Structure 1
Amino acid sequence: MSAAAFKILTGPEWAAFERDGVFRGAPIDLKDGFIHLSTAEQLEETLALHFADQTGLVIAEIDPAPFGDALRWEASRGGQLFPHLYADLPLSAVKVHSRRD
């Protein structure tokens, strides 16, 4: 699969990502051993389930193609295939980002 993938970041996570040029993961990513991503179709449900009532979020659109085998599509919520990144995410991989308040 090569569709765009999306990472939802808190405002402080995004600020650190911009400052450092690399994102190594949110606490849940670090715990699970990969960076959780969503497809465009999964994005709203992910926001509702894991980021409800949070403001100042940033949604980063990522082209997964350059990551090769480090990007794996794995069954998760309800058997859906989610993109999981088993590598650091460089800021250069972010195609666009938008704020969600």
Structure 2
Amino acid sequence: MMIYKIFRKPEWDALRAAGTTAGAPVDVADGYIHFSTIGQAAETAAKHFAGEDDLMLLGVEAAPLGDDLRWEPSRGGALFPHLYRELRLDDVAWAQPLPLKDGVHHFPQDAE
């Protein structure tokens, strides 16, 4: 199963440069890296990245993350994937721009 992380371009650039990251400021503050399923990603983008351009959508396979990935209740009681370790560049299956058009983030069609 693929899970998804939205990063601002500088956060993605930092991961590429360092090879690991503790995540965005919200991830560091919460003590884990927030991910979404494909069904949750659009609402995550709208809620936490409204109006922001220059975003990257990262696809990460959930299974290899093992016990470091936990599914926990969040928005509306839905279970969200949370990673309790640094994200490694090697964990990222792919990364694509998440363009903003007419105020809405447009997800790649193959992100499912």
TM range (shorter): over 0.9
Query: Considering only aligned residues, what root-mean-square deviation do their CA atoms show, in Å?
Result: 0.7
Secondary structure of the corresponding residue to residue 38 of structure 2:
coil
Q: CA deviation at 1:78?
A: 0.5
Paired position in structure 2 for 1:66: 64
Stretches of structure 2 lacking an aligned partner (at least 5 in a row) = 100-112
Stretches of structure 1 lacking an aligned partner (at least 5 in a row) = none
Partner Cα separation in structure 1 for residue 27 and residue 78 of structure 2:
18
Q: Output one character per residue of 1:20-68: Cα deviation in whole Å (capped at 9) or x when no partner.
A: 1112111110111100000010000000000001010000000111121
After TM superposition, the score normalised by the length of structure 2 is 0.86
1:42 and 2:40 aligned: yes
- Structure 1 runs, 4 residues or longer, greater than 6 Å off: none
Q: CA deviation at 1:94?
A: 0.7
Question: Identity, % of aligned pairs?
Answer: 46
Paired position in structure 2 for 1:19: 17
After TM superposition, the score normalised by the length of structure 1 is 0.95
Secondary structure of the corresponding residue to residue 99 of structure 1:
strand
Paired position in structure 1 for 2:86: 88
